[in-house]
Structure 1
Amino acid sequence: MKYAQFEKPVTLLVGTGFPRRVESVMDAYVLLQDWPAAGRNGAHAVALNACKAGIAGEIDPETVRATLVTFARRNDILVSDMLSPPAAGDAPRGRALPG
């Protein structure tokens, strides 16, 4: 079964700062399920529960995406939309500063 895609992917910095593109509810679920226990917090729990609800069809993919973005912002791992890893042919860009 193919799980709902996000309208716009979310890019997070994982591990030692490697960008990871999350494009669907299932991508988000796998990422959060594999998240180290020491790094889990309330935002993680909310996002993981949203993923489960999205997989069950109880909420829409964009709601799941919003909870993932909140989790990423609170953990300072969100790569801003304007500063995502460039597509082929794009000029290189940096990472957003925390706000």
Structure 2
Amino acid sequence: MNRLEFFTPVRIARGHGEPVEEIDNVSEAMTFLRHWPKGRRGPVYQCALNCCAAALAGQMSAEEARKAFTGFARITRLLDDDIALPIRGEKMDSAYTPRR
């Protein structure tokens, strides 16, 4: 396994009827973030971008970057919640409420 690959992909759902996109690694997450509209880039976006950049530089693990990117996807309501379950050893945020 490549050090930049996620153990579990982050599934992005852009809208009803649109195909779900799987983000499998830090490079794909960084590409996704770079294409995000400039007018919608806030602190959660910046955190995810910084974490992905740190992982690419070897200063952070891919899983830490995945957590930040997953948080960004959840906040922006792009996360496909059916697959966004924590991986082994990862605790779910107690404030998390699934979208339905």
Distance 2:55 2:78 in 1: 22
- Report if aligned partners of 2:6, 2:24 keep a CA contact under 8 Å in 1: yes
Paired residue for 2:67? Answer: 66
Paired residue for 2:27? Answer: 26
- Report if aligned partners of 1:47, 1:64 keep a CA contact under 8 Å in 2: yes
Please state whether the residue corresponding to 2:60 is helix, strand or coil.
coil
Alignment-mate amino acid for residue 22 of structure 1:
I
Distance 1:18 1:36 in 2: 20
Distance 2:15 2:22 in 1: 13
Please state whether the residue corresponding to 1:78 is helix, strand or coil.
coil
Relative CO higher for 1 or 2, CA cutoff 8 Å, sep ≥ 6?
2
Alignment-mate amino acid for residue 35 of structure 1:
W
Could you state the TM-score of these two structures normalised by the residue count of structure 2? 0.74
Could you state the TM-score of these two structures normalised by the residue count of structure 1? 0.75
- Report if aligned partners of 2:11, 2:83 keep a CA contact under 8 Å in 1: no
Cα gap change, 1:63 to 1:19, in 2 (>3 Å): same
Provide structure 1 residue ranges, at least 5 long, that are not aligned to the other structure: 84-96
Pair 1:75-2:64 in alignment: no
Give the Å deviation of 1:82: 3.6
Give the Å deviation of 1:13: 2.1
Provide structure 2 residue ranges, at least 5 long, that are not aligned to the other structure: 85-97
Give the Å deviation of 1:15: 7.1
Moved over 6 A (4+): none
